[in-house]
Structure formats: structure tokens, C-alpha cells
Amino acid sequence: MKTMTVRELQQNIRQCVDDAQKDRVVLTRHGKPAAILVGVEGKDWEDVFYETDSSFWKMIEKRRAERTVSLEDVKKHLGIKTRRPH
């Protein structure tokens, strides 16, 4: 992971964006982390949106914590008979 000051970013924006395509770039201000630049070249807008949307990831975490239902239970609930192997 590369680090760069905000001042260096202002002077070398093109290089910083190019570097971010290979690895994250941490931008610092007064020696402390201020932001992270992540390259997204080659991804579509929808992927970029969901990868960076905190409310989406909170929903995923909530869902992962919930009880799961097996396929067999779903079939029983829907009245679908399971075929037995020959």
C-alpha cells in the first residue's frame, strides 16, 4: 500500500490515480491518514456503487446474522416432493 500526502496528490494526480489501479493509496494530511484512493478502472458503475455503499453492507451483515433455511425445509413448506436417487 502506497502513502501520499494531499499536497503530493495535488501535484501528481494522474500518477496517483494510476497507482491506485494497482493498490490502494492512503492520502495523509499532517502525517495522519485522511482518505484512501481505490482504483476502479474496468468495473461497472453498479459494482462500484455497491462495493462502496455502507448501507448495503450493513444490510448484508444483518442478513448473514439471521437464521438460514435449508433447501429441504423450503421444499417441504412448498409441498415439493424430493426425488429419490435410483
Residue 14 has which C-alpha cell?
Answer: 494522474
Number of domains making up the chain: 1
Residue 85 falls within a domain, yes or no?
Answer: no
Its domain, for residue 13, covers 2-78
Which pLDDT tens digit goes with each residue over 57-76?
999 999 999 999 999 999 99
Distance of alpha carbon 83 from alpha carbon 27, whole angstroms = 58
When the pLDDT of each residue in the chain is averaged and rounded to a whole number, the result is 92
pTM exceeding 0.85: no
CA distance 48 to 30: 29
Phi and psi torsions of 39, nearest 5°: -70, 140
Residue 42: is its pLDDT beyond 90? yes
Is 51 inside any structural domain? Answer: yes
Indicate whether 86 belongs to any domain. Answer: no
Q: 83 pLDDT exceeds 90?
A: no
Report which of 44, 43, 40, 46 is spatially closest to residue 25, judged by C-alpha positions. 40
